[in-house]
Amino acid sequence: MKNLKDSRLFALALAFIVGAIVSLPAFAADQVNSPGELSSAVDLSAEAATFSVAVPTRLTIDIAADGTVTTANNAAIVNNSNGPIEVHEVRVSTKNGWSIVPWGTDFRSTPTGAKQFSMEINGGAVDVSGPAPLTGFPIIHGGDRLALTYDADAAVQSSAVSEEIAEVIITVDWAEATNHPAPHYSHSG
């Protein structure tokens, strides 16, 4: 009776072990019986990275009575993502009846109170139709920031003005590998 009980336990244990082995994923191994090359596939499983970019909510332009223009010196595009991003478009959209005129316009000869301004962003003059050139917008690597420098000028106003004259729309996306070679740099920080 004891032998029968032992053999049943042995059979049950053996069935459990075989069942456990069969339930594991099977990967066939290449085998050769003579010298030669073997290869193994490398499989990647990666979650989509989180895209997180911050831009300033306001870009201020202060013009003193003597015509001195002051703009913010701490504006930046901040890439909080792990991967590189790029700016695809920078466009200025006017508001409240204001219009963009060419950079370098001499506002001393523009009628007082005209709702006209000119703007330059990252070294590029904003076109009268709104787009800014992208030459001052390189790829922004993960964890890095790009200073957003800007300058502006506006027509002389006969009374104090404090209003939103435009918005800057910045379109960003991942820097795709097909558009750019892999960067060769070291990042410390």
Residue 162's alpha-carbon distances to 13, 61, 67, 104, in angstroms, are 84, 10, 15, 23
List pLDDT tens digits, range 102-114: 999 999 999 999 9
pLDDT at residue 11, rounded to an integer: 60
31 or 58, greater pLDDT: 58
Tell me the average pLDDT across 116-140: 97
Question: Is 113 within 8 Å of 157 (Cβ atoms)?
Answer: yes
Residues facing residue 151 across a β-bridge: 120
Say which DSSP state 185 is in. -
pLDDT at residue 185, rounded to an integer: 40
Residue 16 confidence (pLDDT) above 70: no
Residue 29 confidence (pLDDT) above 80: no
41 or 95, greater pLDDT: 95
Q: Where are the beta strands (DSSP E) in the chain?
A: 53-54, 61-63, 69-71, 76-79, 85-94, 99-100, 116-121, 124-125, 145-147, 150-154, 166-174
Provide CB contacts within 8 A for 136, sequence distance 6+. 121, 122, 123, 124, 149
Total Cβ atoms within 10 A of residue 96: 10
User: What is the residue extent of each domain of the chain?
Assistant: 53-174
pLDDT at residue 184, rounded to an integer: 41
Mean pLDDT of the chain: 85
pLDDT at residue 26, rounded to an integer: 52
Q: How far from chain centre, in Å, is Cα 31?
A: 47
* Of the candidate ranges 24-33, 60-69, 153-162, the one whose mean pLDDT is the lowest: 24-33
Q: Over pLDDT 70: what percentage of the chain? A: 77
List pLDDT tens digits, range 130-158: 999 999 999 999 999 999 999 999 999 99
Give the residue among 77, 96, 93 at the shortest CA–CA distance from 143.
Answer: 77
DSSP 91-120: EEEE-TT-EE--TT--GGGSPTT--EEEEE
Residue 1 confidence (pLDDT) above 80: no
pLDDT at residue 46, rounded to an integer: 86
